Amino acid sequence: MEPSDTLHAFRCLLYQCLHRRGDALFEIIDAILTADAVPSPVHLSLEASHRRGWGSLYAALDRGRIDAEALRGLLAHHPLAGSETPPPVYAVDVSVWPRCDAEASPERGYYYHPSRHSAGQPIVAGWAYQFIAQLNFLRESWTAPVDVERVRPAQEANEVAAEQVKAFLRRSSSPEEGANPLFVFDAGYDPVKVQQGLKGSPPCQILVRLRAGRRFYADPSLAGPPAHTGRPRRHGPKMKCKDPSTWPDPSTEYTCEDAGYGVVRVRAWSGLHPKVRAHEGQGSRGPLPIVRGTLVLVEVERLPRGERRREPRVLWLWWHGEGEPDLGLLWRSYVRRFDLEHTFRFLKQSMGWTTPRVRHPAQADRWTWLVVVAYTKLRLARARVADLRLPWERRYDVGRLTPLRVHRVVSSLLVELGTPAKAPKPCGRSPGRPKGRLSGRAKRYPAIKKAA
């Protein structure tokens, strides 16, 4: 199928996922694509692709209805170009929509933020959204978001991530033999909780970054013959990540030469397990579970150009899946995980994801879906648009444009494709709020501080 046919079919199927006020929602998506900047949602009504008034735009965000499950299925069936080689790799991470001063907005929580601080701490009040995005191994910053869900303050991010992954595996096509998808998590996730949450799911692999200083234990049979008295031993020899003298011989080792990282050495120890605290297991009574996996250590000779002022640090990873791990795939997959950070930055800075100051989280959910779909349209339009570079910008091959370059020229392609949205029906000027009527003070909702 030609790129233009793929994009046209995607737009038609997308229109079917928009129910109440679907025409207005569809035109908002096109306005996001054609706008140079989004200082506020109402400015989108000035775009030529948005044929309705600004009141219709706010009404769509407030009372529109999106079939999120159908939309997730639509995104899952439009994979990222260049990721045809199995297994598919996905990144799972959380990004925060700061709403520090929105005291009238409910369901806000306190979350870590890398650039904004409150009282000297990198913590902000707002809404947290958890993304699943497909990655590839090309030298580009494109990803393919396939699911997004808001993590409420009372919810555990590890449990939400496990449920998201299981739901995605059920709705996506079954993988080929020996090509179980790989899901990559950052250090903010707990490998034990994620692994236990995925029990009973379709086959997959998980790769979780570990914080420094962790300790793991081998099988108790390696500690010698069992004692004749007392309780049977549950933990074998201890392996401290910070103490190489406690490391046994690795079960698998891999070495390669990379243009950016130099000599890369990857070692793996299979059959290890961490000690599980009581609240991580199945209650305080009964034996705590033994969660086994593979511990992976990645060491590189240098960092890529632009980051070589810093000394490279070792990288500890936790892998779980069927069969033996592909160490060459694992370390490259975690390096490509940072492409999702570029996607977050583009959604916020160029597509105005966190710009609207909506009051209710349901409105933020609708806006988030609209931005994610607009980004997917950009990706599908990449092979069809021509480059419009500035004199000082470098040249790119056809089909290799960055998201910013495609965003710059996609408006002409939308005019050519047309729109399935129906034309607006003018109904006159709204009478507005009756004179003398006051809306009253909005109810205040303090941000929820989650107990440790």
**Per-residue model confidence as pLDDT tens digits over 145-173:** 999 999 999 999 999 999 999 999 998 86
Cα distances (Å, whole numbers) of residue 260 to 250, 281, 307, 335, 340: 25, 41, 10, 11, 19
Question: What mean pLDDT, rounded, does the chain reach?
Answer: 88
**Per-residue model confidence as pLDDT tens digits over 50-73:** 898 888 899 999 999 999 999 999
Contact in structure between 61 and 358 (CB atoms under 8 Å): yes
CA-CA distance, 89 to 144, in Å (whole number)?
11
For residue 118, give the 3-state DSSP assignment.
strand
CA-CA distance, 19 to 208, in Å (whole number)?
38
Q: What is the pTM of this model?
A: 0.91
Architecture of domain 83-222+234-277+289-344: Alpha-Beta Complex (3.90)
Q: Which residues in the chain are classed under CATH 3.90.350.10? A: 83-222+234-277+289-344
The β-bridge partners of 145 are 133
Q: Which amino acid is at 192?
A: V
Residue 214 CA from chain centroid, whole number: 25
Residue 409 CA from chain centroid, whole number: 26
Residue 83 has a pLDDT of 63
Residue 151 CA from chain centroid, whole number: 12
CA-CA distance, 37 to 98, in Å (whole number)?
19
| Confidence class for position 391, pLDDT limits 50, 70, 90 | confident
Contact in structure between 311 and 318 (CB atoms under 8 Å): no
Residue 281 has a pLDDT of 46
**Per-residue model confidence as pLDDT tens digits over 285-298:** 567 788 899 999 99
- DSSP character at residue 266: E
What is the dihedral sign for C-alpha 189, 297, 273, 231? negative
Residue 174 has a pLDDT of 54
| Confidence class for position 452, pLDDT limits 50, 70, 90 | very low
Residues 6+ apart with CB under 8 A from 164: 92, 130, 132, 147, 149
For 298, the enclosing helix (H) or strand (E) is strand 293-300
End-to-end CA distance of the chain: 51
Residue 162 has a pLDDT of 96
Peptide bond into 289 cis (omega under 30): no
Q: Does residue 228 register a pLDDT over 70? A: no
**Per-residue model confidence as pLDDT tens digits over 427-445:** 777 777 788 888 888 999 9
Residues 6+ apart with CB under 8 A from 219: 236, 271
Question: And the tokens for 196?
Answer: 């236990």
Short-list 14, 151, 148, CA closest to 91: 148
Residue 310 has a pLDDT of 79
List alpha helices for 87-242, DSSP H. 157-171, 191-197
Rounded to 5°, the CA angle 239-269-137 comes to 125
Task: Find the mean pLDDT for residues 336-341.
Answer: 94
Q: How many residues does the chain have?
A: 452
Question: And the tokens for 407?
Answer: 């965003």
